[in-house]
Amino acid sequence: MSEARDEARAGDEPVPAAGRRWPRADLLILLAGVVVAAAAVTPVVVRWLGNPPDQRLVDLEVYRDGGRAILRGAPLYDVLTQPPQLLPFTYPPFAAVLAVPFTLLSWPVAQAVWTALIYAALVVTVCYAFRDLIRRFGRWAPLAAGVLVAAMTWLEPVRDQFRFGQVGLFLLAMCLADCCARTARWPRGMLVGLAVAIKLVPGVFLIWFLITGRREALGNAVLTAAAATLAGFALLPSDSADYWFGALLQGGDRTGAVDGTTNQAVHGIVARIFDEGPVRTLVWVVLAAAVAYYGFRWARRSSRVAALLTGPDATSLLLGSVAIVGLLSVALSPVGWIHHLVWMIAVIAALAGDGRDTRRCLFALALWLLFLFPIPWWARAMIGPEHSLVSVFTGEVLRDTFGAAALASVVLLGHWLVKRLDPRVDHEDSSRREVRVGTLSP
C-alpha cells in the first residue's frame, strides 16, 4: 500500500524525503487503511484457521509433504497427505524445493506464515491492479487501498485461498507485476518464468508475450523457467523424470474429478452435461479451441489499443489484456477450480479503471457482487432425487455460474471495453466523466 500511496501523491504534493517525518494526518490515514484491511481479513483467517487440523490449509500440507519427501529421499509423486484428505503432490519438483523451508516450521507457525504471505500477495495485487483508482484519492490513497483490499478479500476465490492455503494469489501477483509494472526492477518476463516453474498454468503468458510482440520478455520467461526446471533435474533427477514423463500425463486422475462443482473450466462445464466418452472430448476440444482463439485474439487487440493511449485508459486496457489471459489459464485448463479465479480481481480493476466511467464501474460492481457468494455450491444443493425437475434444472445451470461469468468477462474486456476506449471509435457517453488525478471532485 505504500507504493500506491507514493504514486497517488505524485504530482499533487511532494513526498516526504527519506528520513523526514510524515505528517501525523498521513500516518493516521495509513493506519486507517491497515485497520480496514485487517478487519476484513481477520474473520476469514479466523474462520479457516479455526477448522479441525485435518481440514485446515490442506494444500499447504501438500506442499510441506512434498518438501518432507525431498528431505527424506522419498519418491515425490508417491506421497499422499494424511487421511482423510490423501492428496498427492501435483506440482513440478521446483515447487517442492521451494516448500522445504516450511517443513522446518511447526504446523501452527507454518500456517501463520503462509497466511501472512497470502495477505501480502493480495495487497501487492490490489496495489498493481487498482493503482489508477487509488491514485485518484490523493493523500487518502492508503485508506482507499485498504478498502479495496477489504473488498477483494471477500470474493469467493480469494476466501478459498485462505481456506486451502493455495498459491494462486502468489502467481497472480507475480504475473501482474511482470506484465503491468510501469518500470520493472527485474528482467521483464522473469517473474512469469518463475511462476511457470512453480505451476505450469501461467505458461499461457508465454503465448501472450509472443502475440503482443514482447519478445525480450518471452526470452527472459523461457530462460527463467528452463533454468528453474533444470535446477529441479539437477537436485531431483528421479522425481523430475517421474513428473515430466509420468505424473504430468496423468492430469485429472491426480487432481480430482473433472465433473465436480468446483471445476469451473470449460472442461468441467462440458463434463457436467455429457457422459465420459468421445462426444464429451470432442465438444470440449471444439469449445476450448474457440475460447482460445477469441480470447488470445482479444487479448492482443486490447494490448495494441493500449499502446495507442496514455494514462488510466491505457492501463485499463493493458490490465484487461493480462486479465483475459489469466482467465484463459483457468478456462482452458482441464481443471480450473473456483480458487483459481482470483483473476477476477484483475477483471474488476480493469473495468473500474480510475472510477470516472460510471457504466464501467457498474459492471465492475456487478461482478464483485456475483463473486461474493458461493453460488455454484448453493446450486449444487438444489440437485438430487428429493428435488423437483425445475429445481434440478436450475441447479445444474447455476452450478456453472462462475465459469460462465469468467467467459463473459473475456468478452466484456476483449470486445466491449476495447471498443469503449479505442480512440479510433467515435463514442459519446454521458456516463464517462473527466476527473482530475488526486481528487474525487468532477
Question: With contact defined as beta carbons under 8 Å apart, do 146 and 33 qualify?
Answer: yes
Alpha carbons 240 and 234: distance in angstroms, whole number: 9
pLDDT band at 429 (very low <50, low <70, confident <90, very high): low
Question: With contact defined as beta carbons under 8 Å apart, do 431 and 359 qualify?
Answer: yes
Alpha carbons 390 and 137: distance in angstroms, whole number: 48
Does 101 sit behind a cis peptide bond, omega within 30 degrees of 0 on the bond before it? no
Residue 10: the pLDDT is: 40
Tens-place pLDDT, residues 61-89 = 999 999 999 999 999 999 898 888 889 99
Is the predicted pLDDT of residue 183 greater than 90, yes or no? no
Residue 83: the pLDDT is: 83
Question: With contact defined as beta carbons under 8 Å apart, do 236 and 93 qualify?
Answer: yes
Tens-place pLDDT, residues 308-318 = 998 999 999 99
Chain Cα centroid distance, residue 21: 36
Q: Which cell numbers in the block locate residue 119?
A: 495477505
Residue 441: the pLDDT is: 39
Inter-residue long-range contacts of 76-84, CB under 8 Å, 24+ positions, other chains counted:
76/236, 76/239, 76/242, 76/243, 77/239, 77/242, 77/243, 77/246, 77/247, 82/54, 83/54, 84/54
Query: How many other C-beta atoms can be found within 10 angstroms of the C-beta atom of residue 305?
Result: 23
**Mean predicted confidence (pLDDT) in 115-134:** 96
Alpha carbons 366 and 347: distance in angstroms, whole number: 12
Is the predicted pLDDT of residue 16 greater than 50, yes or no? no
Helix (H, G, I), strand (E, B) or coil at 92: coil
Residue 431: the pLDDT is: 55
Residue 251: the pLDDT is: 54
Tens-place pLDDT, residues 340-368 = 999 999 999 999 999 999 999 999 999 99
Alpha carbons 276 and 142: distance in angstroms, whole number: 51
Tens-place pLDDT, residues 129-164 = 999 999 999 999 999 999 999 999 999 999 999 999
Query: How many other C-beta atoms can be found within 10 angstroms of the C-beta atom of residue 87?
Result: 17
Is the predicted pLDDT of residue 49 greater than 60, yes or no? yes
Question: With contact defined as beta carbons under 8 Å apart, do 249 and 77 qualify?
Answer: no
Each domain of the chain, given as residue ranges in start order, spans 256-425
Question: With contact defined as beta carbons under 8 Å apart, do 107 and 65 qualify?
Answer: no
Is the predicted pLDDT of residue 15 greater than 60, yes or no? no
Residue type, 257: A
pTM of this structure: 0.90
Distances (CA, A) of 291 to 269, 283, 296, 333, 406: 13, 12, 8, 12, 11
Residue 424: the pLDDT is: 80
Distances (CA, A) of 202 to 57, 160, 189, 315: 22, 19, 12, 21
Residue 5: the pLDDT is: 42
Alpha carbons 367 and 321: distance in angstroms, whole number: 17
Alpha carbons 419 and 302: distance in angstroms, whole number: 9
Helix (H, G, I), strand (E, B) or coil at 314: helix
Tens-place pLDDT, residues 226-259 = 999 999 999 999 999 989 887 676 655 556 678 9
Question: With contact defined as beta carbons under 8 Å apart, do 296 and 153 qualify?
Answer: no
Is the predicted pLDDT of residue 433 greater than 90, yes or no? no
pLDDT band at 391 (very low <50, low <70, confident <90, very high): very high
Alpha carbons 373 and 159: distance in angstroms, whole number: 11
Alpha carbons 299 and 175: distance in angstroms, whole number: 15
Residue 4: the pLDDT is: 42
Question: With contact defined as beta carbons under 8 Å apart, do 173 and 147 qualify?
Answer: no
Q: Which cell numbers in the block locate residue 332?
A: 482452458
Please tell me which residue, 174 or 247, carries the higher pLDDT value.
174
Q: What is the torsion angle, in degrees rounded to the nearest 10, for the CA atoms of residue 325, residue 247, residue 80 and residue 253?
A: 70
Alpha carbons 307 and 290: distance in angstroms, whole number: 26
Alpha carbons 186 and 241: distance in angstroms, whole number: 31
pLDDT band at 9 (very low <50, low <70, confident <90, very high): very low
Question: With contact defined as beta carbons under 8 Å apart, do 306 and 152 qualify?
Answer: no
**Mean predicted confidence (pLDDT) in 173-192:** 94
- Portion of the chain with pLDDT greater than 70, in percent: 89
Is the predicted pLDDT of residue 102 greater than 50, yes or no? yes
